[in-house]
Structure 1
Amino acid sequence: MTMAMDEAALTAFLRDQFPQVADDFAIERTDGEALVVRLAVSDKHLRPGGTVSGPTMFALADVAIYLAILARIGPVALAVTTNCSIDFMRKPRNGADLRATARLLKLGRVLAVGDVLLHSDGLADPVARASLTYSIPADRPAVR
């Protein structure tokens, strides 16, 4: 499978286009089969009770699929989420980083569909599963 962007290129893209959140995420692996990204959990990601918030887990799943798409098609900043369904299956470990494994199920000209499993460090079973659909702009404008 041809890869348009590797971990270094994806990290640089994230820092350039999304500097407000880039430091939260670290791409661990992308190989055409899956992309793995880690969220360094901090106090800003926690809800009352000390567990990672649902919106934070959504953000991790969304970023993971977005990066998996870009790894295959290149730097298309205007690809956007059109649908997301997330199942929260168990509480993440307090203070533990989260890891998302994203797999693309379909990558078409204008739509991409993928699944993401979220794991909490120290737990064997996933804490959440998300299914996302992305719209890819037909003209794929260049990133500035």
Structure 2
Amino acid sequence: MATGNETGISTGDFDRIMAQKVPYVGDMGIVTESLEGGVARLRLPFNPRYIRPGNVVCGPAIFALADIALYAVAWMVAPVADHAVTTEATVHFLSGAKPGDLIAEASILKAGKRLLIAQCDIRSAVDNALCAHVIGTYAMPPAGKAG
């Protein structure tokens, strides 16, 4: 199993890749804080547009952050993960996310030749509360396939 950042992708490289290939991420302002020790840590800066009734961050914003964090760990094990796609995701919303930044920490559970299974915790930067736990499966590109 992968234990680090085998591809050596930097946070700046990943942010540039996302801005070019997944413009929605750029629109949300998601920032990659670290890609090391087998963990991808990303931040979603607070935006009042993400608030839903009850004064909590909406589920679509939480899942978007988790999905990008899970994608980041795919880039940590595949030299070019352009063709990696989410094939399944289970989201457990655990508590309402207070208005403020959200932090995602994703790590690999199993990395095979064709599938990558990873998990992601989403925490509030306001009070460190665990807001969501996500498990995702990615179909990985065949070895040597360039994007």
TM over 0.5, shorter chain: yes
1:17 aligns with 2:18: no
- Which one is further off, 43-52 or 103-112? 43-52
RMSD over aligned Cα atoms: 1.6
Matched length = 142
Q: Does the alignment pair 1:115 with 2:119?
A: yes
After TM superposition, the structure 1 stretch with the greater mean CA deviation from structure 2, 75-84 or 113-122, is 75-84
Return the TM-score normalized by structure 1: 0.89
SS, match of residue 20 in structure 1: helix
Q: Cα deviation per residue 1:94-141 (whole Å; 9 max; x = unaligned)? A: 2x0000000101111110001101001122331111111110122553
**Does 2:129 match 1:125?**
yes
Q: Pick closer, same or farther for the CA change 1:20–1:49 going to 2, 3 Å.
A: same
Distance in 1 between residues matched to 2:13 and 2:76, nearest whole Å: 9
Distance 1:31 1:48 in 2: 36
Q: Residue 13 of structure 2 aligns to which amino acid in structure 1?
A: A
- Structure 1 partner of 2:77: 72
Question: Contact 1:35/1:103 (CA < 8 Å) preserved in 2?
Answer: yes
Structure 1 residue aligned with 2:145: 141
Measure the CA separation in 1 of the matches of 2:55 and 2:109: 34
What do residues 37-86 of structure 1 show as CA deviations (whole Å, max 9, x unaligned)?
A: 00112133222333211111111111000011112212321211111111
For the residues of structure 2 that align with 1:36 and 1:108, how far apart are their CA atoms? 22
Q: CA deviation at 1:2?
A: 4.8
> Which residue number in structure 1 is paired with residue 11 of structure 2?
7
Q: Following superposition, which runs of at least 4 residues in structure 1 exceed 4 angstroms of deviation?
A: none
| TM-score computed with the length of structure 2 as normaliser | 0.88
Q: Is residue 106 of structure 1 aligned with residue 123 of structure 2?
A: no
Tell me, yes or no, if the aligned pair for 1:3 and 1:32 is still in contact at 8 Å.
no
Distance 1:56 1:140, change over 3 A: farther
Contact 2:84 2:139 in 1 (8 A): yes
Gaps of 5+ in 1: none
Structure 1 counterpart of 2:49, from 31, 44, 49: 44
Q: Which amino acid aligns with 1:76?
A: A
Q: 1:50 to 1:70 in 2, by over 3 A?
A: same
Cα distance in 2 between the residues matched to 1:119 and 1:106: 23
Tell me if the contact between 1:80 and 1:135 (Cα under 8 Å) persists in the aligned partners.
yes
